[in-house]
Amino acid sequence: MPTSENDSPPVYREIAEDVRAAIASGRLADGDRVPGENDLMKQYGVARATARQALSVLINEGIVVAIRGSGVYVRTFRPLRRHGPRRLSRELWGAGRAIWQADSPEGGFETDSVAVDEIAAPAYVARALGLADEAPVVRRHRRYRLDERPMQLATSYLPAKLAAGTAIADHETGPGGIYARLAEQGHAPAHFTEEIRVRMPTPEELRALRLSAGTPVLDVLRTALTAAHAAVEFNEMTLDGSAYVLQYDFDA
């Protein structure tokens, strides 16, 4: 029976760690039902409130999911491996493939909630693109889903002088997406820079990504530059923190 004395963790956290270890070792596999409140009360000799707290910790971490009227189960979804260099290679979009297809080679990935408009660039977007304050930009917002599960929100900003009146400003940009269209204009992306931040979601993001309470999001801020280092796109992406593994390869 777990006990909390002196500086030891609270009992509910010790119970949560036991269940977490069972999942990590494979004793509880994907889709298995984890011990419920009654089971934990009997096993550890604790009050219902303590058992409930232990399960809440695991639910908030995204390790398990509660199904009303059924129980709590090990989450069956495995995070996508997002390989930064590979998904942005010219070999991919130059061949007419969308870069997000690299995240899920088996398929099932799709976009929805696509919205395109022209706005005055916010100050931070203008700085990223090297534009004058409030210069016109084409904004493309979309949500990505995998097998109906929302995974990512993304908003791209491109100088209006490059994007307005072209397929980039259409809902369907054609094979290879916006990078292929930029290449056709002689502005092919040749370099990318990304910043990654971790934070808690806003209420709007919580709803749009259908996140469990306590799930963080990853902000990925990417700038695409030409061979002459002219910025042609600034992309803000918000990823479900429980849904992705980010991979980057570097030479020493």
| pLDDT tens sequence across 124-166 | 999 999 999 999 999 999 998 887 889 899 999 999 999 999 9
CA-angle at 241, arms to 237 and 246, nearest 5°: 75
Decide: residue 243, CB within 10 A, 0-12 exposed, 13-18 middle, 19+ buried. buried
Cα distances (angstroms) measured from residue 180 to each of 92, 94, 111, 189, 236? 10, 6, 18, 9, 19
Domain that holds residue 43: 11-74
Same domain, 56 and 140: no
What is the b/e burial string over 59-72, where b = at least 16 CB atoms within 10 angstroms of the residue's CB? beebbbbbeeeebb
Contact 185, 163 (CB under 8 A): no
Last residue in a domain, options 59, 74, 89: 74
33: DSSP letter: B
Same domain, 88 and 103: yes
Same domain, 222 and 200: yes
Identify the pLDDT of residue 160.
97
Query: Which residues of the chain are under the pLDDT cut of 70?
Result: 1-8, 76-78, 100-102, 104-108
Does residue 59 lie in a domain region? Answer: yes
Same domain, 193 and 101: yes
Does residue 33 lie in a domain region? Answer: yes
Identify the pLDDT of residue 7.
56
Picking from 178, 240, 236, the residue whose alpha carbon sits closest to that of residue 215 is 240
Identify the pLDDT of residue 190.
94
Does residue 233 lie in a domain region? Answer: yes
Same domain, 155 and 61: no
Identify the pLDDT of residue 240.
92
